[in-house]
Copies of this chain bind each other. A is one copy, B any other.
Amino acid sequence: MAAAMTHTPPSLLNEPAEERLLLAHGDGGILTHQLIQGLFQKYFRAPELMALTDAAVLSGAPDLALTTDSFVVNPLFFPGGDIGKLAIAGTVNDLAVSGAQAKYLTAAFILEEGLEISLLEKVVASMASTARTAGVSIVTGDTKVVERGKGDGIYINTTGLGLVRKKELGYHRIQPGDKIILNGGIGEHGLAVLIERNQFRFSESIQSDCMPLNALITPLLDQFGTDIKFMRDPTRGGLATTAKEIALSGSCDLWLEETAIPVRDEVRGATEFLGLDPLYLANEGKVLTIAAPERAAEIVRFMHQLPEGKDAAIIGEVRIGQGQVFLQTPLGGTRILDMLAGAPLPRIC
């Protein structure tokens, strides 16, 4: 896990330079973007796909949003969640940040020969319970089995269909002066998975923040309407990578204030010990909100009333620019943040 410290020339985003796939092509950082823009978008040319948002918004009556995610997290169970909970929450959240209410989910399993069926049952029960919490129905599914050594226990794809409730979210609505709000501490999911995978021992247990966010996002959008300009969940690649994506697609600069970014003490301790940067660690229960400056404080107070937003804070603002992210450090310095690049932490979701 390394944070890129230098700015990536835009040309790097244009075509895959590698001949063979690296693990880092799946980390949500620069190589993932190269693969999407250099290969998938070269062939799949639907305008909905070109928008590169978390969900495709399909214009019609009613407007629908469609999103897909495969989950390959390793290990399957970790403090605070499991692959089943993650598979529901992740897809519900991708719809929620797109202004859509998740209604229907599909669930497709790729299972490895020899898997204990009792373990599969635990995962399925967790999916059902998380779906109930989030108020979504799993309406269709698929099961494939691959030979031993050709999978890793359980891979799950969930695809979500939602009704678009707010159409006013989008990169085009971000303006200089807008405030950047985060609903709580960063790095918890990535760290919890990493610790579980490596069986590190820390005095305090680190729990993944994995949870559906629609109970926070729906009332927020109802309450603040067009004063909320844009939302995104900073998952793979962490807060820094998501901020960079927003800056590039929104044609602006994002200025983040390091001391304002919520980081739980135990996360700070463990990341310092392990030499990791929480800005690049995955979150699965966080939403980055860009809002009109005059309502930002009120939005934070509103979030504080809900369990999913109790540690919400304004962490920065949008300025005129060309796609840079700047982190203002406590000592008065400025660090340029780029997308995740280099040593990856694979299979975090």
Contact = CB atoms under 8 A, between A and B. Distances in A.
Interface string A78-117: 0000000000000000000000000110111111111111
Given A104-B58, A104-B66, A116 B46 contact: no
Nearest to A25: B145
A198 to B, nearest CB: 15
Interface in A8-39: 16, 18-27, 32, 35-36, 39
Given A46-B137, A142-B69, A152-B146, A161 B20 contact: no
A23 B151 CA distance: 12
Interface residues of A, number: 80
Given A20-B115, A161-B161, A110 B155 contact: yes
A130 B298 CA distance: 50
Majority secondary structure of chain A interface residues (helix, strand, loop or mixed): mixed
Contact of A121 (B39, B58, B120): B39
Contacts of A43: 121, 124-125, 127-128
Closest 10 CB pairs of A and B: A26-B145, A68-B106, A159-B159, A56-B139, A43-B128, A48-B139, A56-B140, A157-B157, A46-B137, A21-B115
Nearest to A157: B157
A3 B128 CA distance: 35
A39 B117 contact: yes
A201 interface: no
B113 A161 contact: no
A347 interface: yes
A326 to B, nearest CB: 29
Contacts of A145: 21-27, 346
Contacts of A176: none
B113 A22 contact: yes
Contacts of A25: 111, 143, 145
